[in-house]
Amino acid sequence: MKTGESKIPFHYKTIRITQSRINKGLLAIPVSLINYFPKDKRKVYVIFGRQEKANAKNFTPYNSSSRECRIGGMRDFYEKFQVKDGEELVIQIIDENKYRILTEDQFRASILKAEKDLDMVDDEGKADIILKKISLISNSNFEDTIYSEFFRLSQGIIEMRKYDKSKTIRKKESIPASIRKILAEVYKGKCQISGFSFLMKNGKPYFELHHIKPNLGNHLKNILVVSPNVHAQFTYARVVEFFDEQEWLRKVRFNDDEFLVKHIIDDLPRKFEKEVHYL
């Protein structure tokens, strides 16, 4: 087994397939993964690709006469998706005795499509639904999915803020629902500068979003979760801002008082890895 950098912001496992196993219509499980599989001969349930229905397949454990841990009945899958020698299959452990197998191209394409939908959504409720869909696709828990999408959005270029078109006035674009949802989940409504928050009557934390540079766009480096008091200070106090080399605001001075700025990016991995398992 070796690790490589993932091209999407998720950790995942793959098995590199060989022509001999394709010809036999089976999937051999590398020794490095056998702890995720049963120790006895039985039926296991496999979901192929993005299907929902699980298929019962014959499973042979490592301690069998073949000395190979394997799943049979893979021929239709290999033919349908034209799997070739040396390709990698993503394998996800869904539950005890239940797995999902899909090609790496399928996996990446599903994630990228869902992320594109997330970026276009205009409602936080819909954003929540899509984030849960990404969580399901990636086989990650919801919190890890939020952090992964925060990381992805933080890697883009900071652009100038756009204006909504109007016949009478120019109105600055609002913050996308996907970003509002992700920031609400990441910071739990707590101000990144003061740590203050309070619950509204509906039980949700109240917070405001501040554009550090008003003319720049809705990039995570340019948006802060703040309390109303801190937001007012950005508007009315004498403000001095201190940025790091990656353009994250690290410290702010309101009049004569200095405050550190909390950023969740400091707690996230700098890169995501995939595990490639070989026979």
* CATH code of the domain in which 83 resides: 2.40.330.10
- In-domain check, residue 156: no
96 and 6, same domain (yes or no):
yes
- In-domain check, residue 133: no
Chain centre to alpha carbon of residue 122: 19
Compute the distance between CA of residue 152 and CA of residue 191 in angstroms, rounded to an integer: 22
Domain count of the fold of the chain: 2
- In-domain check, residue 145: no
- In-domain check, residue 153: no
Tens-place pLDDT, residues 79-119: 999 999 999 999 999 988 999 999 999 999 999 999 999 99
pTM for the whole structure? 0.86
Full domain range(s) for residue 29: 2-104+272-277
Cα of first residue to Cα of last residue in the chain, in angstroms, is 9
Tens-place pLDDT, residues 227-242: 999 999 999 999 999 9
Reduce the DSSP state of residue 168 to 3 states and report it.
coil
Count of CB atoms situated within 10 Å of the CB of 189 = 18
- In-domain check, residue 168: no
Look at residues 110, 190, 154 and name the one whose alpha carbon lies nearest to residue 266: 154
Reduce the DSSP state of residue 38 to 3 states and report it.
coil
* Residue keyed to tokens 């101000």: 191
Q: Of 42-56, 59-73, 249-263, where does the model show the most confidence?
A: 249-263
100 and 186, same domain (yes or no):
no
97: region left, alpha or beta (phi > 0 left; psi from -120 to 50 alpha): left
Tens-place pLDDT, residues 177-220: 999 999 999 999 999 999 999 999 999 999 999 999 998 889 99
